[in-house]
A and B are shown apart, each in its own frame.
Chain A
Amino acid sequence: ETGVTQTPRHLVMGMTNKKSLKCEQHLGHNAMYWYKQSAKKPLELMFVYNFKEQTENNSVPSRFSPECPNSSHLFLHLHTLQPEDSALYLCASSRTSGDTSTDTQYFGPGTRLTVL
């Protein structure tokens, strides 16, 4: 399998549940990202990992907990979410180079999350 894959593709959870989203990239990249796509807001960056180290947290609530065990895998652990957290969660990866402005991010298909 090539590119960036995400599982599950769809997830429905209650506010008291704990679940995890998984992202895997097969592109040999070193940087990985979580984005949130809500119905009425632009795509928002959540977290950035570079060589397994978190380099950016865009003021994301602590009920979202990322984990990056290696450069190929990225998780987003979810607990005690709210209905307004329902969204499409997109993972992306990119090559790390000295010129960050020219790195191209490649996206997975996303996980459609519904919080009841």
Chain B
Amino acid sequence: GNSVTQMEGPVTLSEEAFLTINCTYTATGYPSLFWYVQYPGEGLQLLLKATKADDKGSNKGFEATYRKETTSFHLEKGSVQVSDSAVYFCALMDTGRRALTFGSGTRLQVQP
């Protein structure tokens, strides 16, 4: 079956530090890959997505590249802000199935 594995959190960084949150996946088909963000007390917001190998999704300074050879979709940002503090979820949607499979989430805490 499908699965998504994320690095354990929390990740604590100082403002303007470089961020990497690792995500690897297992899927039977050719999935689309997503990063969602959940701010405290809120639902999930789509951050970025990539639908095929070597695609790069980007939004608000965050980037992730779909790496089929390593089955990975790591999230990066060059300079984090306090306002980026949230829980980040990696997810996949496999071909032909309308359901998202989520990782366990990684909490990011950015300190001023």
- Interface contact B99-A106, CB-CB below 8 Å: no
- Interface contact B93-A101, CB-CB below 8 Å: yes
- Interface contact A45-B93, CB-CB below 8 Å: no
- With A101-B30, A102-B51, A110-B43 known as contacts, the answer to whether A42 contacts B98 (CB < 8 A) is no
Q: Does A94 contact B (CB under 8 A)?
A: yes
Q: Which of the four size classes fits the interface of chain A?
A: 20 to 34
- Interface contact A107-B45, CB-CB below 8 Å: yes
Number of A-B contacts (CB under 8 A): 66
- Interface contact A101-B99, CB-CB below 8 Å: no
Q: Which of the four size classes fits the interface of chain B?
A: 20 to 34
CB neighbours (8 Å) of A33 from chain B are: 98-99
B residues in contact (CB < 8 Å) with A:
4, 29-32, 34, 36, 41-46, 49, 51, 89, 91, 93-105
A residues in contact (CB < 8 Å) with B:
4, 6, 31, 33, 35, 41-43, 45, 48, 50, 55-56, 58, 90, 92, 94, 100-110
